[in-house]
Amino acid sequence: MAILKLDKHNEAKEIEFELDYLASLTTQQRFELMFRKTQELLNLRNRRKPNRKTTEIIKRKPR
Protein backbone atom coordinates (compact mmCIF):
# COMPACT_ATOMS: atom_id res chain seq x y z
CA MET A 1 0.00 0.00 0.00
CA ALA A 2 1.38 3.40 -0.99
CA ILE A 3 1.52 6.38 1.35
CA LEU A 4 1.01 9.95 0.19
CA LYS A 5 3.48 12.44 1.70
CA LEU A 6 3.04 16.13 0.97
CA ASP A 7 4.97 19.14 2.26
CA LYS A 8 1.84 21.30 2.20
CA HIS A 9 -1.86 20.46 2.37
CA ASN A 10 -3.19 19.80 -1.13
CA GLU A 11 -6.73 18.49 -1.15
CA ALA A 12 -6.79 17.90 -4.92
CA LYS A 13 -3.73 15.62 -4.76
CA GLU A 14 -5.18 13.78 -1.75
CA ILE A 15 -8.44 13.10 -3.59
CA GLU A 16 -6.61 12.03 -6.75
CA PHE A 17 -4.40 9.68 -4.71
CA GLU A 18 -7.43 8.17 -2.95
CA LEU A 19 -9.30 7.64 -6.22
CA ASP A 20 -6.25 6.04 -7.85
CA TYR A 21 -5.92 3.70 -4.87
CA LEU A 22 -9.60 2.72 -4.95
CA ALA A 23 -9.47 2.20 -8.73
CA SER A 24 -6.53 -0.20 -8.28
CA LEU A 25 -8.60 -2.49 -6.01
CA THR A 26 -10.71 -5.34 -7.28
CA THR A 27 -14.43 -5.29 -6.63
CA GLN A 28 -14.05 -7.91 -3.93
CA GLN A 29 -11.31 -5.89 -2.20
CA ARG A 30 -13.48 -2.76 -2.28
CA PHE A 31 -16.40 -4.60 -0.68
CA GLU A 32 -14.11 -6.09 1.97
CA LEU A 33 -12.78 -2.62 2.74
CA MET A 34 -16.32 -1.24 2.93
CA PHE A 35 -17.48 -4.01 5.28
CA ARG A 36 -14.39 -3.63 7.47
CA LYS A 37 -14.88 0.15 7.77
CA THR A 38 -18.59 -0.32 8.50
CA GLN A 39 -17.78 -2.76 11.30
CA GLU A 40 -15.17 -0.35 12.64
CA LEU A 41 -17.72 2.49 12.76
CA LEU A 42 -20.32 0.29 14.43
CA ASN A 43 -17.79 -0.76 17.07
CA LEU A 44 -16.93 2.87 17.77
CA ARG A 45 -20.60 3.81 18.03
CA ASN A 46 -21.45 0.93 20.35
CA ARG A 47 -18.41 1.24 22.60
CA ARG A 48 -19.43 2.28 26.09
CA LYS A 49 -17.90 5.43 27.49
CA PRO A 50 -17.46 4.90 31.26
CA ASN A 51 -16.43 8.49 32.00
CA ARG A 52 -19.37 10.03 30.22
CA LYS A 53 -22.14 11.58 32.29
CA THR A 54 -25.66 10.41 31.74
CA THR A 55 -28.06 12.88 30.23
CA GLU A 56 -30.12 14.98 32.59
CA ILE A 57 -33.62 16.33 32.15
CA ILE A 58 -33.85 19.90 33.33
CA LYS A 59 -37.32 21.13 34.13
CA ARG A 60 -37.73 24.89 33.87
CA LYS A 61 -40.43 26.96 35.46
CA PRO A 62 -42.84 28.55 32.99
CA ARG A 63 -42.54 32.31 32.68
Q: Taking a C-beta distance cutoff of 8 angstroms, is the pair 37, 24 a contact?
A: no
Residue 58, pLDDT score: 82
Nearest CA-CA partner of 18 in 35, 32, 30, 8? 30
What amino acid is encoded at 19 in this protein?
Answer: L
| pLDDT of amino acid 50 | 67
pLDDT of 41 above 80: yes
Whether 42 has a pLDDT exceeding 80, the answer reads yes
Domain ranges of the chain: 13-43
Tell me the per-residue pLDDT of 48-58, one tens digit each, with 9 for 90 and over. 776 777 778 88
- Taking only the tens place, the pLDDT of each residue in 6-35 is 888 889 999 999 899 989 999 999 999 999
pTM: 0.55
CA dist 36 and 17 (Å) reads 21
From the CA atom positions of the chain, what is the Rg in Å?
Answer: 21
Alpha helices in the chain (DSSP H): 11-24, 27-46
